[in-house]
Each structure stands twice: as C-alpha cells, then as structure tokens.
C-alpha cells in the first residue's frame, strides 16, 4: 500500500486547494469538529445543499477524529442518514468521535447540525488504521 501523504490539497481541509472548502478542524475531549457555511455553488436542488457534500463533511470529520489523535486512518465503509435539509448560507457544524477501536478497525460516528442543533445528517464509518 502506498504511504499516506498530505500535500495540503484535500478538498475539505487543504489550504493549497484553490477550489476546496478550507475547513479548520479542532479536537476537544476526543471530538473533532469544524464549522462550514455552504454557498449556492454547493447545492443540489434549489438552495438545498447537495447530499454528497454533506456525506463528504461527515467522512472527513470521522477521519479527523482519528488523525487529530495521532492515528492515521482511511475510510473503509461509511453510512449516512439524512434527517433535515441544509440550506445555502446556513451555518453547519460537523462533529465526529471514535466509538471503539482495535488493532485494525476504528469505528466512528459523526453528525452535521445547524446552529440551533437541528440534525442535518448522521454518519457512521469503519476506518482502517494506517499506523
């Protein structure tokens, strides 16, 4: 397997990616989080943020929950359940945490929520440890 490298071009968090989202993740008490205000260019249907982008936010947050704790990992499996639409211009918060892990697999969960705590989507993933 090729060694994982970060060249700062990640679509979600890469500072060098001119078309990226440039999210800044932090970790607090084992929970990785970031804020995002989607724009009209991120929509699927009129003014509603595309589900693929929301899934991408969940995926990134779950990997960051491991990475920011010094555990390199990649997504092996992800499931997403959509609860409420996120509209263009509405601030979203994505949060992820590790549920359990063993020598190879890290199980994680994440949510995207609005400022008023309305859940937009929930995700669960199995990550493969790369250490």
Sequential DSSP letters for 45-88 = STTBBPHHHHHHHHHHHHHHHHHTTT--EEEEEEEEEE-S--BT
In a domain, 11, yes or no: no
Residue 73 covered by a domain: yes
Q: Look up the CATH number of the domain holding residue 110.
A: 3.10.129.10
Mean pLDDT for 55-68 is: 97
Has residue 15 been placed in a domain? no
pLDDT at 86: 98
> Does some domain include residue 8?
no
Q: What domain range is 83 assigned to?
A: 26-129
Number of structural domains the chain divides into: 1
Residue 48, pLDDT above cutoff 70: yes
pTM exceeds cut of 0.85: yes
Q: 17 in a domain, yes or no?
A: no
Mean predicted confidence (pLDDT) in 112-118: 97
> 27 pLDDT exceeds 70?
yes
| 86 in Cβ contact with 92 (< 8 Å) | yes
Q: Is residue 10 part of a domain?
A: no
Compute the mean pLDDT over every residue in the chain, rounded to the nearest whole number: 96
For the chain, the C-alpha Rg in angstroms (whole number) is 14
User: Which tokens is 90 given?
Assistant: 């509405």
Percent of the chain predicted with pLDDT > 90: 95
Query: Average pLDDT, stretch 80-101?
Result: 98
């Amino acid at each position: 397997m090729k060694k994982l490298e970060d060249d700062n071009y990640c679509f979600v968090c890469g500072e060098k990616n001119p078309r990226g989202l440039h999210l800044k993740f932090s970790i607090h008490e084992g929970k990785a989080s970031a804020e995002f205000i989607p724009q009209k260019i991120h929509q699927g249907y009129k003014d509603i943020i595309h589900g693929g982008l929301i899934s991408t936010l969940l995926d990134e947050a779950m990997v960051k929950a491991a990475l920011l704790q010094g555990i390199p990992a990649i997504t092996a499996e992800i499931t997403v359940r959509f609860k409420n639409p996120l509209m263009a211009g509405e601030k979203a918060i994505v949060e992820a945490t590790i549920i359990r892990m063993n020598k190879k697999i890290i199980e994680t969960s994440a949510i995207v929520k609005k400022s008023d705590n309305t859940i937009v989507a929930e995700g669960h993933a199995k990550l493969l440890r790369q250490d």
